Amino acid sequence: MIVLLAGIVLVTEHYWNGANSPRESALATVPADASVVLYADAADLRQSPFLKQLYQWAPTPQRIDADYAQFLRDTGFDYERDLDRVAIAVIKRAQQTTLFAVADGRFDRRKINRYTSQFGTHESRGGREIFTVPITGSPRKISFAFTRQNRIALTNSGDLPALLSQPMKGVDEKQWRARFDRLAGSPLFAVIRQDAAPGAALAQRAPGGLQSPQLAALLDQLLWITLAAKPEGDRLRVVSEGESPADATARQLSDFLNGALILAQAGLNGPQVRQQLDPQAREAYLEILKGAEVSRIDRGETKSVRVVFDITPQFLAAAGAASPSVSQQPPAHK
């Protein structure tokens, strides 16, 4: 009997702690009607050799903006050092897009409250102290509140308490959680639901030469799209997956992506590209294309297409050579 009780306690503790881990509790705060959820475990990413490669690739700021430097001095918060994890939700309601984020880190509440009070307002609503500050160059504002000692929730909506009172539940929670659990080993991921209309977004934003009505139409038939990234040594393994209820859609998408890989490799091997493109950059792009894998997964109710590829140090070096330097931007508060 004692052994049985001990086993029950251990199992209960395991599931209780798992459900209340910082990652799980942050994701559970996301409103159920989100269209897109982004998650980053900054504490985990900081430990990876790939991040050092990424810092070397990223454009080096020519100077630190005076306002940003003042922000660092007044609040003591440096996201590169003090941010541990962040979950961001994109919520689309009619023509309005709302952003909601939950960030964990080392915050000095007294300093942050004093700093933001210089530019905005604060009030007590829903049992919480809500701070509101204006967005630079926009009539809209950002509201935030401390929901626990090391966690901040913020949004561009005018009603932060309402968003905090709408955590995931029911069918929505089960569907989101199934994708979150599937991506549990990735410190960086995005989950996109069908109502985000990813195909239409791609068609609007893709440069003219890269637009594909066929790909856009196929993406809009997917129920879910996930994109996950995980450092493995000095490279980043990227896995993207699209889920559809129809096998025909999955088959067409798989055929399209495999064909695109073949065409891209053929283009890089063309005589004109060989003359115009730096040889090292060309080899870096070819390395990614040759290593990319497209596969299909049958999960019963959904048929998925998975694409796997690696972002390599060679690719970062090639991309960095073409990137101009930029200056550090400050947080918006004016």
Distance CA 114, CA 252 (A): 56
- What is the rounded average pLDDT for all residues in the chain? 82
* 166 pLDDT above the threshold of 70: yes
* 75 pLDDT above the threshold of 70: yes
* pLDDT score at 171: 81
* 300 pLDDT above the threshold of 90: no
The whole-number average pLDDT for the span 301-330 is 76
Pick 276 or 140 by higher pLDDT. 276
Task: Provide φ and ψ at 190, rounded to 5°.
Answer: -135, 140
pTM for this prediction = 0.83
Model pLDDT for residues 215-259, shown as the tens digit of each residue:
989 999 999 999 999 999 888 999 999 999 999 999 999 999 999
The whole-number average pLDDT for the span 41-62 is 74
- 8 A C-beta contact, residue 167 and residue 30: yes
Residue 58 pLDDT class (50, 70, 90 cuts): low
- 8 A C-beta contact, residue 301 and residue 251: no
Model pLDDT for residues 103-126, shown as the tens digit of each residue:
999 999 888 888 888 878 888 887
Distance CA 223, CA 219 (A): 9
- 8 A C-beta contact, residue 236 and residue 50: yes
19, 73, 74, 126, 191 from 42: Cα distances, Å: 20, 22, 22, 30, 18
Please name every residue paired with 231 in a beta bridge, in sequence order, or none if there are none.
236
Nearest alpha carbon to residue 36 among 250, 172, 225, 307: 225
Strand, coil or helix: 30? coil
The whole-number average pLDDT for the span 316-334 is 56
| Dihedral in degrees, nearest 10, Cα atoms 175, 176, 180, 181 | -30
The whole-number average pLDDT for the span 256-275 is 93
Residue 9 pLDDT class (50, 70, 90 cuts): very low
| Dihedral in degrees, nearest 10, Cα atoms 247, 250, 256, 261 | -130
* 208 pLDDT above the threshold of 80: no
The whole-number average pLDDT for the span 185-198 is 90
Residues 6+ apart with CB under 8 A from 245: 223, 301, 302, 303
Please name every residue paired with 298 in a beta bridge, in sequence order, or none if there are none.
303
The whole-number average pLDDT for the span 191-218 is 77
148-172 per-residue burial string, b: 16 or more CB within 10 A, e: under 16: eeebbbbbbbeebeebbebebeeeb
> How wide is the angle at C-alpha 40 spanned by C-alphas 223 and 20, nearest 5°?
85
Q: Specify burial of residue 43 (Cβ count, 10 A radius: 0-12, 13-18, 19+).
A: middle
- 8 A C-beta contact, residue 155 and residue 142: yes
* 151 pLDDT above the threshold of 90: yes
Pick 325 or 77 by higher pLDDT. 77
* pLDDT score at 267: 93
* pLDDT score at 301: 87
